[in-house]
């Protein structure tokens, strides 16, 4: 009886805790939105004009030249209207559709706030503060909750028995640069769309690389099968981990995208499809030095903190203050370069799964050896066979 009572209390406490952490995230999101709205509401006339000018001349997005340029003769109402018009153009450009009852003032404020952040960042480029350029892209009006649900991935800490210490690979042991995407081992331009499925893209891509490097062709493996059959949460946050996904591919296998296409939505598991790949080993890196050895074997599935990544357009990201936590997004490390862009910096070359229109045709570059975005852990597949 007492055991039952303790059990009941534990269950109730767990439920209450889960409920509270969900509602506290919602409360935090509401506070963030309220703050951004207030910030935008308080902008001075000249701060608003600065945004309109930058939108018009293409300093922070593709030039919005259908927007009349801001002028000193504009009344305050004109300035406000031009900002609204710019937001309207943004809505059309990205075919935005919000759910019914959406807080449009919050969306507008998110957009304007992002414009301001990007503008300030890009002005810092002119002052020599950074080498990466940002832009106002499809994520500019995203809420904190939406950002979380786009990512939602992790990499497990405990190495499983199939993951072992990596060794450098002789073919590229002394390379000072390497880019698997130029060597036919990477599928370009993948897009997870609004769905927390990054971990299925990173893990299948690492195995695709392994097959391609061993001259068995560049196929596309099924992200959807992993999602439907092994992670019931599907697109919702708190979904998968890249290490679990790699282990599943090794133990259960996976079919091709052609047989089991990506629908970025919840699907029912189709069990009647055969795996097309066998993975010999999964090797693991736990820091950036080990990652450098690992990527010489093939494309590496890594996890990072994505919070400061959404606005990236091009160049090498060097800001070591960018968030290193929470680790919430899985991507594919495809290579590295020493002294990249003649900046004297060493960098990583990474493929994201946010579409080809994001970043450098779907890729980004980030300085190496500085733990930027918390990059440190990764997994590579070796000894792969088509079956």
* In the complex, least distance from residue 40 CB atom to ligand NAG, rounded to whole angstroms: 9
* In the complex, least distance from residue 356 CB atom to ligand NAG, rounded to whole angstroms: 26
Nearer to ligand NAG, 123 or 270 (CB): 123
- Please give the residues from 40 up to 59 whose contact with ligand NAG meets the rule CB under 6 A: 42
- In sequence order, the 6+-apart residues with CB closer than 8 A to the CB of 385 are 214, 216, 277, 278, 280
Query: Of the listed pieces 23-31, 33-41, 344-352, 379-387, which binds ligand NAG according to CB under 6 A?
Result: 33-41
| 4: number of Cβ within 10 Å | 8
| 352: number of Cβ within 10 Å | 25
- Classify the C-alpha dihedral 19-20-23-29 as positive or negative: negative
Catalytic residue (choose from 113, 187, 257, 352)? 352
Query: Of the listed pieces 148-156, 170-178, 195-203, 336-344, which binds ligand NAG according to CB under 6 A?
Result: 170-178
**Are the C-beta atoms of 198 and 329 separated by less than 8 Å?**
yes
Residue 372 DSSP symbol: G
342 in contact with ligand NAG (CB under 6 A): no
Q: Site for ligand NAG (CB under 6 A): how many residues?
A: 14
Does the active-site annotation cover 352? Answer: yes
160 in contact with ligand NAG (CB under 6 A): no
Query: Of the listed pieces 10-18, 36-44, 133-141, 336-344, which binds ligand NAG according to CB under 6 A?
Result: 36-44
- In sequence order, the 6+-apart residues with CB closer than 8 A to the CB of 2 are none
Nearer to ligand NAG, 75 or 170 (CB): 170
38 in contact with ligand NAG (CB under 6 A): yes
**Are the C-beta atoms of 145 and 118 separated by less than 8 Å?**
no
322 in contact with ligand NAG (CB under 6 A): yes
d(CA 351, CA 188) in angstroms, rounded, equals 8
d(CA 246, CA 282) in angstroms, rounded, equals 8
Does the active-site annotation cover 329? Answer: yes
Catalytic residue (choose from 198, 210, 235, 340)? 198
35 in contact with ligand NAG (CB under 6 A): yes
Nearer to ligand NAG, 110 or 242 (CB): 110
165 in contact with ligand NAG (CB under 6 A): no
d(CA 336, CA 350) in angstroms, rounded, equals 9
Tokens describing residue 183 = 């060597």
Please identify which residue in 20, 45, 88, 129 interacts with ligand NAG, judged by CB under 6 A: 129
Please identify which residue in 8, 15, 18, 173 interacts with ligand NAG, judged by CB under 6 A: 173
170 in contact with ligand NAG (CB under 6 A): yes
Cα–Cα distances (Å) from 98 to 3, 101, 110, 141, in that order, read 49, 8, 14, 11
Cα–Cα nearest to 152, from 111, 182, 188, 196 = 196
* In the complex, least distance from residue 171 CB atom to ligand NAG, rounded to whole angstroms: 6
Nearer to ligand NAG, 284 or 307 (CB): 307
- Window 212-251: contact mask with ligand NAG (x via CB under 6 A): ----------------------------------------
Does the active-site annotation cover 210? Answer: no
- Please give the residues from 282 up to 311 whose contact with ligand NAG meets the rule CB under 6 A: 308
Catalytic residue (choose from 122, 210, 310, 329)? 329
Q: Is 298 left (phi over 0), alpha (psi -120 to 50) or beta?
A: left
Question: Nearest 5°: phi and psi at 196?
Answer: -80, 60
Residue 374 DSSP symbol: G
Nearer to ligand NAG, 35 or 232 (CB): 35
272 in contact with ligand NAG (CB under 6 A): no
| 313: number of Cβ within 10 Å | 19
- In sequence order, the 6+-apart residues with CB closer than 8 A to the CB of 34 are none
* Site residues for ligand NAG per CB under 6 A: 35, 38-39, 42, 124, 129-130, 170, 173-174, 308, 319, 321-322
Which of the residues are catalytic? 198, 329, 352
């Amino acid at each position: 009886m007492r055991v039952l009572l303790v059990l009941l209390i534990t269950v109730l406490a767990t439920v209450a805790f889960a409920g509270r952490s969900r509602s506290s995230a919602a409360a935090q999101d509401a506070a963030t939105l309220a703050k951004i709205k207030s910030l935008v509401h308080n902008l001075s006339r000249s701060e608003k004009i600065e945004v309109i000018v930058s939108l018009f001349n293409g300093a922070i997005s593709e030039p919005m030249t259908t927007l009349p340029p801001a002028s000193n003769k504009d009344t305050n109402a004109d300035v406000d209207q031009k900002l609204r018009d710019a937001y309207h153009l943004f809505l059309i450009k990205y075919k935005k559709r919000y759910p019914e009852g959406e807080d449009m003032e919050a969306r507008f404020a998110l957009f304007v706030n992002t414009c301001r952040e990007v503008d300030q960042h890009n002005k810092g480029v002119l002052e020599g503060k950074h080498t990466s350029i940002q832009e106002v892209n499809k994520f500019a009006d995203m809420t904190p909750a939406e950002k979380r649900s786009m990512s939602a991935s992790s990499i497990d800490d405990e190495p499983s028995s199939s993951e072992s210490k990596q060794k450098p690979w002789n073919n590229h042991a002394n390379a000072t640069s390497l880019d698997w995407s130029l060597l036919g081992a990477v599928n370009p331009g993948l897009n997870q769309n609004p769905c927390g499925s990054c971990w299925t893209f990173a893990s299948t891509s690492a195995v695709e690389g392994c097959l391609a490097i061993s001259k068995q062709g560049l196929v596309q493996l099924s992200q959807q099968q992993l999602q439907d059959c092994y992670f019931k949460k599907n697109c919702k946050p708190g979904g998968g981990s890249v290490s679990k996904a790699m282990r599943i591919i090794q133990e259960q296998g996976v079919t091709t995208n052609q047989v089991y296409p990506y629908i970025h939505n919840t699907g029912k598991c189709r069990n009647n499809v055969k795996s097309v790949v066998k993975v010999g080993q999964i090797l693991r890196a736990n820091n950036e030095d080990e990652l450098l050895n690992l990527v010489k074997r093939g494309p590496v599935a890594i996890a990072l903190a994505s919070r400061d990544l959404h606005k990236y357009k091009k160049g090498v990201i060097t800001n070591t203050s960018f968030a290193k936590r929470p680790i919430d997004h899985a991507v594919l490390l495809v290579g590295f370069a020493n002294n990249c862009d003649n900046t004297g910096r060493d960098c990583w070359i990474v493929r994201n799964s946010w579409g080809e229109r994001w970043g450098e045709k779907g890729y980004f570059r980030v300085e190496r050896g500085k733990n930027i975005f918390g990059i440190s852990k990764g997994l590579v597949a070796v000894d792969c066979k088509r079956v």
